[in-house]
Structure 1
Amino acid sequence: MRFRTIMIFPEFENIDVINDIRKKYDPLADLVLPHITLVFPFDSELTNEELNLHLKECLSDIQPFKMELEGFSKQINNYGNYLLLNVVQGIDEIKNIHDRLYKGRLKQFDAGYDYVPHMTVGNLSSIDLLNKAFDDVNKCNDIFSTVVKKISVEMIGDNEESIIIIEHELNG
């Protein structure tokens, strides 16, 4: 079985600004579209049909919602030196979806971390490079607004590429 992930792939009018930042600072920029991860990569025997049913059950009453991203932050952990675009509107809705998806069939994959919705726009090889990238992106004053209408499941391919396998429309 291949790793799968559950994400929001937002559609912004000014997405080219995010794409330009990611091309400079995110090694995955050419492999996966800008996204907000809801369920982190997991390896499971669940079929795609069972996973789709899980989404339907967990998200049956979730309405489309407004989301806004603005401003940047840094996160340094065991996995890398990350440059993040902050979610400033829609945080509660995203956390609710995250929490619901990690119940039931996916409960075993919940690592118990404090979940803070964000979009990763960079992963730098050193803290010094992260600080330089952070200074660079802070010149960007754009606000990224959209209405989230669907939740997607991707399969991670052999070359780390994103293969969308399920799209669940939010309609409450």
Structure 2
Amino acid sequence: MRYGIAVFPSKKIQDVANSYRKRYDPHYALIPPHITLKEPFEAEEDEINGKIIPELKEVASVTEPFSIGIFKVSTFSPVTNTIYLKVENSDEISNLNNRLHSDKLPGEMEFSFVPHITIAQKLSDDEFSDVYGSLSMGKFDLHDHIDRFQLLYQLENGAWSVYETFRLGEKTL
């Protein structure tokens, strides 16, 4: 089965992201707005319960809750016509990402970590230019407190669902 790890921001930030995603993101119905911490990886159920979940509990226990800020949009152009809310990088979110890419967990880091919330993707070149041009002139002032991350699994229809939630800073017994 296919799994991934993400942070779901507050409803306020999700509402802002969804105001764009409804129109510009074909994955809108498959997953709520999120910050991907670990790209999708394959694992068996016994591996999830026997090895991965205990490691994720350990990662969560040594990671303190932290704050994020979003102040502008950015893009992965020219690689893809993806537009996103740029989450300001911080030591805390980078360290969490690094811990989730240890040798103890499956899946390789394919790209450099860029914390973001996708709001538009798979746009034509003209639509991308119009949407990004318009959004890049706007200012955002969004703040959030991150105190958990989620292990997700992918359903047969491509949608993602939460498998388990891990609270940051909680010591495991």
Give the structure-1-normalised TM-score.
0.87
**Contact 1:73/1:83 (8 A) holds in 2:** yes
Q: Given the alignment of the two structures, is residue 87 of structure 1 paired with residue 87 of structure 2, yes or no?
A: yes
Deviations 1:87-110, CA, capped at 9 Å, x for gaps:
12x53211111111110322x522
What's 2:74 paired with? Answer: 73
Unmatched tracts of structure 1, length 5 or more: none
- Sort the Cα spacing of 1:171 and 1:70 in 2 relative to 1 into closer, same or farther, 3 A: same
Note the 1:5-84 alignment, pairs <5 A.
5-45=4-44, 46-76=47-77, 80-84=80-84
**Contact 1:91/1:117 (8 A) holds in 2:** no
**Contact 2:75/2:84 (8 A) holds in 1:** yes
**Contact 2:73/2:135 (8 A) holds in 1:** yes
Q: Per-residue deviation at 1:14?
A: 4.9
Q: Cα RMSD between the aligned structures? A: 1.9
Give the structure-2-normalised TM-score.
0.87
Unmatched tracts of structure 2, length 5 or more: none
SS at match of 2:27: coil
* Aligned length, in residue pairs: 168
| Residues 26-35 or 109-118, more deviating | 109-118
Note the 1:143-158 alignment, pairs <5 A.
143-158=141-156
Higher strand share: 1
Deviations 1:14-47, CA, capped at 9 Å, x for gaps:
5322111111111111111110000000012322
- Sort the Cα spacing of 1:53 and 1:14 in 2 relative to 1 into closer, same or farther, 3 A: closer
Q: Per-residue deviation at 1:130?
A: 1.3
- Sort the Cα spacing of 1:124 and 1:100 in 2 relative to 1 into closer, same or farther, 3 A: same
Note the 1:65-144 alignment, pairs <5 A.
65-76=66-77, 80-88=80-88, 91-106=90-105, 108-144=106-142
What's 1:160 paired with? Answer: 158
